[in-house]
């Protein structure tokens, strides 16, 4: 297991290094001078000079990369071309909102996807299975941002039940926080839930068709015992994987949904940085999102190896 863990961490470090090259290169793909572009009409030679010097943009690319990487490893992602604030601070400020939305959406997805998936598989071919499968087919095809708009239209503007957008800190107003969270969490969570449903259903169906399940039934075990002792433990692995991937995706920020609900998360930060041509902020947020994604993948893989010894020896 130790060997597997070390190898897997090494792979992640390598991927992260690659991501850092891409993220760094981004800024240099911009036609012309990124700082000049970012400053636009507010161009001021002194600010310009300061930014160029602060980020070492007058030095050779290779040196720039390594000094940027060195700072990034120490948590310094430079300062915003626009506001002059440290990028790390800007990213960290957005963390609570992103974590809240990711957690709530995942909760929705699990509550909807897992039990329905198991029941659909156990009663495969039943009316319930048919309806649930059809609904999930719709769920994976609906753009989450359009679903968000429709929820706002229905629940906020027409029925007036929930606020249409915005975010309040749970420390200031807990009920308000919860009320603002419901619609974005549903918009994202129901899509993730549909994806999870499909995986759970097919993983359980596959486990149900194994010889050891037939054997357990032949021994006269109750349906319940067969399901909980034989089917589910073997269906966990694909389920853990897909849940992990969904979580990685949610933590990365669901850009468009965040924008629709004016949710101050990382995805929205990255998007606003594009509009402002604030490249250091864009670099910082993309680097954060990719790191998050890689770490979750690592955790999932380790969990996988722990659940299934065959993976470790592969």
Partner 1 sequence: MTEPAAETTVGVVAHRSRLRTTAETVLRNRLAVFGLVILVLLVLVALAAPLIAPYTINQVDVANRLQGPSSQHWFGTDELGRDVFSRVIIASRVSLQVGFVSVGIALGLGVPVGLIAGYYGGRIDSILMRLMDILFSIPAIVLAIAILAALGPDIVNAMIAIGVVYTPIFARITRGSVLTLRDAVFVQAARSIGASDLRIIGNHVFPNVIAPIIVQTSLSLAFAILAEAALSFLGLGVQPPNPAWGRMLSEGRAFFQRAPWMAIFPGLAIFATVFAFNALGDGLRDALDPQQRSIIESRGRS
Residues that bind partner 1 (CB under 8 A): 11, 14-16, 18-19, 22-23, 26-27, 29-31, 137-138, 140-143, 145-146, 149-150, 152-153, 157, 191, 195, 198-199, 202, 238, 241-242, 245-246, 248-249, 252-253, 255-256, 259-260, 267, 270-271, 273-275, 277, 279, 282, 286, 289-290, 293-294, 297
Shortest distance in whole angstroms from residue 184 CB to partner 1 = 15
Of residues 99, 255, 257, the one with CA closest to residue 187:
257
Shortest distance in whole angstroms from residue 145 CB to partner 1 = 6
Of residues 242, 271, 243, the one with CA closest to residue 257:
271
Closest CB to partner 1 among residues 193, 216: 193
Shortest distance in whole angstroms from residue 198 CB to partner 1 = 8
Closest CB to partner 1 among residues 86, 238: 238
Q: How far apart are CA 296 and CA 108, in angstroms?
A: 19
What token pair was written down for 112? 């909807």
E-strand ranges in the chain read: none
Closest CB to partner 1 among residues 189, 252: 252
Shortest distance in whole angstroms from residue 275 CB to partner 1 = 8
Closest CB to partner 1 among residues 189, 253: 253
Residue 79 · residue 53 · CB < 8 Å:
no
| Phi/psi of residue 32, nearest 5 degrees | 80, -155
Rg from Cα positions in the chain: 24
Q: How far apart are CA 34 and CA 51, in angstroms?
A: 11
Shortest distance in whole angstroms from residue 225 CB to partner 1 = 27
Q: How far apart are CA 38 and CA 156, in angstroms?
A: 37
258 Cβ contact partners less than 8 Å away, ≥ 6 residues apart: 101, 184, 264, 265, 267, 268, 271
Closest CB to partner 1 among residues 92, 274: 274
Closest CB to partner 1 among residues 107, 274: 274
Closest CB to partner 1 among residues 216, 241: 241
Tell me the β-bridge partners of 79. Answer: 86
Shortest distance in whole angstroms from residue 173 CB to partner 1 = 25
Tokens 């589910």, located at residue: 232
Shortest distance in whole angstroms from residue 138 CB to partner 1 = 7
Tokens 């997805």, located at residue: 109
Residue 80 · residue 281 · CB < 8 Å:
yes
Report which DSSP code applies to 228.
I
Q: How far apart are CA 109 and CA 194, in angstroms?
A: 7
Report which DSSP code applies to 154.
I
Closest CB to partner 1 among residues 145, 167: 145
Q: How far apart are CA 73 and CA 69, in angstroms?
A: 6
Shortest distance in whole angstroms from residue 220 CB to partner 1 = 31
């Amino acid at each position: 297991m130790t060997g597997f863990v070390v190898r897997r961490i090494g792979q992640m470090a390598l991927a992260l290094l690659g991501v850092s090259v891409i993220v760094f290169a981004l800024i240099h793909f911009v036609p012309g001078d990124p700082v000049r572009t970012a400053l636009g009409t507010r161009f001021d030679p002194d600010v310009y000079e300061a930014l160029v010097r602060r980020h070492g943009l007058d030095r050779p690319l290779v040196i720039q990369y390594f000094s940027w990487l060195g700072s990034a490893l120490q948590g310094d992602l430079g300062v915003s071309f626009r506001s002059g604030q440290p990028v790390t601070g800007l990213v960290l400020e957005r963390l609570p909102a992103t974590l809240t939305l990711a957690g709530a959406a995942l909760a929705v997805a699990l509550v909807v996807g897992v039990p329905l998936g198991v029941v659909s598989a156990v009663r495969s071919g039943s009316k319930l299975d048919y309806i649930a499968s059809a609904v999930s087919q719709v769920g994976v095809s609906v753009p989450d941002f359009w679903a968000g708009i429709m929820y706002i239209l229905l629940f906020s503007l027409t029925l007036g039940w929930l606020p249409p957008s915005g975010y309040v800190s749970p420390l200031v107003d807990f009920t308000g926080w919860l009320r603002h969270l419901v619609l974005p969490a549903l918009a994202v969570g129901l899509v993730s839930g549909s994806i999870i449903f499909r995986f759970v259903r097919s993983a359980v169906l596959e486990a149900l068709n194994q010889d050891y399940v037939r054997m357990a039934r032949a021994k006269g075990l109750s349906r319940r015992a067969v399901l909980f002792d034989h089917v589910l433990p073997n269906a966990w692995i694909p389920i853990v994987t897909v849940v992990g991937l969904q979580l990685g995706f949610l933590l990365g920020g669901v850009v468009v949904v965040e924008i629709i609900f004016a949710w101050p998360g990382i995805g929205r930060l990255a998007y606003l940085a594009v509009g402002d041509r604030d490249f250091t902020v864009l670099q910082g947020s993309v680097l954060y999102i990719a790191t998050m994604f890689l770490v979750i993948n690592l955790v999932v893989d380790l969990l996988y190896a722990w659940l299934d010894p065959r993976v470790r020896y592969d």
